[in-house]
């Protein structure tokens, strides 16, 4: 049987993951699941871990959930390690969002200054996890969900020198779920090709005869809540722009293509109901109240309020595909290897790939149009600088990353935001 280890097991997403594993038990016969957390998440771990055990007990399968604060104990002989931890929990995200907004710049979990500081906090931990894996489960696969998922995956490959990793996101899953419905066809009737970076990819769609139907999808989806995750405010794209690029941008592109309006909306929330992290804290409290109910043995509806809905489809499909060498088409963050020729072969991209026992075999996307190629190269440079700063703790490198980030206006205000974030997150940034 398969041994799964989930780091950040106290996450409210754990029931989503359990549901995915229960659904796929026949192709992925799990023996045991270890949920790992830290002292700060102990109470959450206990509540959600007990709930996870109830889900398995209500299923026909005999799977034991182990809960531990000892990562190394858990990792011993693991087959798959999934990561869904958040360094500093949601309170750290509140700071990532509120500090930039308080200076009139965008505060967001994976974009702008906040996303970069989340990377600074997370990368040292993921590299420790990789070191533990080299020693305790050298044949295991690391299936990363921790944001910023693309940068975390790139750090694992580039600095951890660990290739058995897949970075995941639910955004492509949501697109392939909603778009066929909008066209009145089934998912199997369409051919998808994604390329770009995590939270910065585009995709094209063809019908089962191979004819490009991207424009049809744009038509059918335009002005609708286009499979957008719950955390992103829906400001529509400019139609002429989409027609020019001939591709469908991911939901996060509106932070770049409609920066002014997204900032305006973010500032409204900042001054009103609170930023997304503050809203999510309420949802999380609600979820944990439900999880405490000893009669609850399935994933509650309320979990759909989180932006990461359906993430288990990506995670469990990936694991099942590797385990059973299924060659399933999945969108993953993985080493480019030429699929996106506008970026170096050795960097991590998010692309459609066939996933099997050997990992991801990427589908070549080919060169991107002029504008998207430019964006991509700037964003990858920002990512590489952010990761380098996270590893070296060098202030100048962090400043370079800040300066090249399109969502940060350079100058004295940027310096203030950066310095304040360094102070706010001091205890999670020993490298600086
Ligand atoms: P959360 O705040 O509930 O954190 C999850 C758990 O991680 C907590 O119980 C916390 O105690 C634990 N943790 C913190 N540091 C740890 C460490 N060093 N080792 C082990 N555990 C640790 O977070 P959440 O809102 O459930 O989100 C979890 C993560 O998943 C975040 O990083 C989030 O950005 C990411 N996420 C990714 C996607 C995606 O598309 N890739 C979607 C949703 C969420
Ligand atoms: C989307 C993204 C995730 C992100 C999440 C935030 O689904 O793909 O990477 O973590 O939204 O959702 P939340 O409910 O935490 O704001
Ligand atoms: Mn994501």
What is the predicted ipTM? 0.99
Please say whether the beta carbons of 333 and 198 come within 8 A.
yes
Of 89, 226, 229, the residue with max ligand 2 atoms within 8 A of its CB, to mutate for a pocket test, comes to 229
Of 85, 169, 201, 231, the residue with max ligand 2 atoms within 8 A of its CB, to mutate for a pocket test, comes to 231
Starting at the edge strand found earlier in the chain, the sheet holding 248-249 runs 190-197, 200-207, 248-249
For ligand 1, atom 25, which residue shows the shortest CA distance?
11
Kindly identify the ligand whose nearest atom is closest to the C-alpha of 97. Answer: 2
For ligand 2, atom 11, which residue shows the shortest CA distance?
307
- Is residue 112 lining ligand 1, measured as CB closer than 6 Å? no
HSE of 417, CA atoms in CB hemisphere, 13 A: 31
- Is residue 108 lining ligand 1, measured as CB closer than 6 Å? no
CA 201 to ligand 1 centroid distance, Å? 22
- Is residue 353 lining ligand 2, measured as CB closer than 6 Å? no
Of 5, 6, 8, 333, the residue with max ligand 1 atoms within 8 A of its CB, to mutate for a pocket test, comes to 8
CA 305 to ligand 3 centroid distance, Å? 15
- Is residue 144 lining ligand 2, measured as CB closer than 6 Å? no
Residues with Cβ within 8 Å of 288's Cβ and at least 6 positions away in sequence, in order, are 12, 44, 47, 48
Residue 57: alpha-carbon gap to chain centroid? 29
List the pLDDT tens digit at each of the 432 positions of the chain.
999 999 999 999 999 999 999 999 999 999 999 999 999 999 999 999 999 999 999 999 999 999 999 999 999 999 999 999 999 999 999 999 999 999 999 999 999 999 999 999 999 999 999 999 999 999 999 999 999 999 999 999 999 999 999 999 999 999 999 999 989 999 999 999 999 999 999 999 999 999 999 999 998 887 666 678 889 999 999 999 999 999 999 999 999 999 999 999 999 999 999 999 999 999 999 999 999 999 999 999 999 889 888 888 899 999 999 999 999 999 999 999 999 999 999 999 999 999 999 999 999 999 999 999 999 999 999 999 999 999 999 999 999 999 999 999 999 999 999 999 999 999 999 999
Residue 310 is a catalytic residue: no
């Amino acid at each position: 049987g398969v041994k799964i280890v989930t780091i950040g097991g106290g996450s409210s997403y754990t029931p989503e993951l359990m549901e995915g594993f229960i659904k796929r038990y026949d192709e992925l016969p799990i023996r045991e699941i270890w949920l790992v957390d830290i002292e700060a998440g102990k109470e959450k771990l206990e509540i959600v871990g007990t709930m996870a055990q109830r889900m398995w007990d209500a299923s026909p399968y005999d799977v034991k959930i182990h809960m531990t604060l000892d990562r190394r104990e858990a990792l011993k002989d693991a087959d798959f390690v999934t990561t869904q931890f958040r360094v500093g929990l949601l309170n750290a995200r509140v700071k990532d969002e509120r500090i930039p907004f308080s200076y009139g710049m965008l505060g967001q979990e994976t974009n702008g200054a906040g996303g970069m500081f989340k990377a600074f906090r997370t990368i040292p931990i993921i590299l420790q996890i990789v070191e533990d894996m080299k020693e305790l489960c050298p044949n295991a696969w690391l299936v990363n969900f921790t944001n910023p998922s693309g940068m975390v995956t790139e750090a694992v490959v580039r600095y951890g020198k660990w290739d058995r990793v897949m970075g995941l996101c639910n955004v492509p899953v949501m697109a392939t779920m909603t778009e066929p419905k909008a066209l009145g066809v089934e998912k199997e009737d369409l051919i998808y090709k994604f390329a770009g970076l995590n939270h910065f990819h585009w995709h094209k769609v063809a019908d089962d005869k191979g004819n490009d139907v991207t424009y049809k999808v744009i038509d059918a989806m335009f002005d609708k809540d286009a499979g957008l995750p719950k955390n992103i405010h829906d400001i529509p794209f400019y139609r002429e722009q989409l027609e020019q690029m001939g591709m469908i941008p991911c939901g996060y592109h509106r932070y770049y293509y409609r920066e002014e309006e997204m900032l305006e909306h973010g500032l409204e929330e900042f001054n009103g109901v609170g930023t997304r992290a503050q809203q999510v804290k309420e949802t999380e409290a609600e979820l944990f109240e439900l999880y405490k109910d000893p009669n609850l043995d399935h994933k509650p509806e309320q979990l759909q309020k989180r932006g990461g809905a359906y993430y288990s489809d990506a995670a469990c499909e990936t694991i099942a595909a590797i385990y059973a060498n299924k060659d399933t088409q999945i969108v993953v963050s993985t080493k480019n290897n030429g699929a996106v020729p506008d970026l170096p072969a050795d960097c991590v991209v998010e692309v459609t790939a066939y996933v099997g026992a050997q990992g991801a075999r990427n589908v070549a996307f080919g060169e991107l149009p002029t504008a998207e190629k430019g964006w991509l190269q700037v964003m990858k440079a920002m990512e590489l600088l952010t990761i380098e700063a996270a590893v070296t703790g060098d202030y100048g490198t962090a400043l370079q990353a800040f300066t090249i980030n399109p969502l940060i206006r350079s100058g004295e205000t940027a310096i203030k935001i950066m310095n304040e974030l360094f102070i706010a997150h001091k205890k999670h940034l020993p490298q600086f």
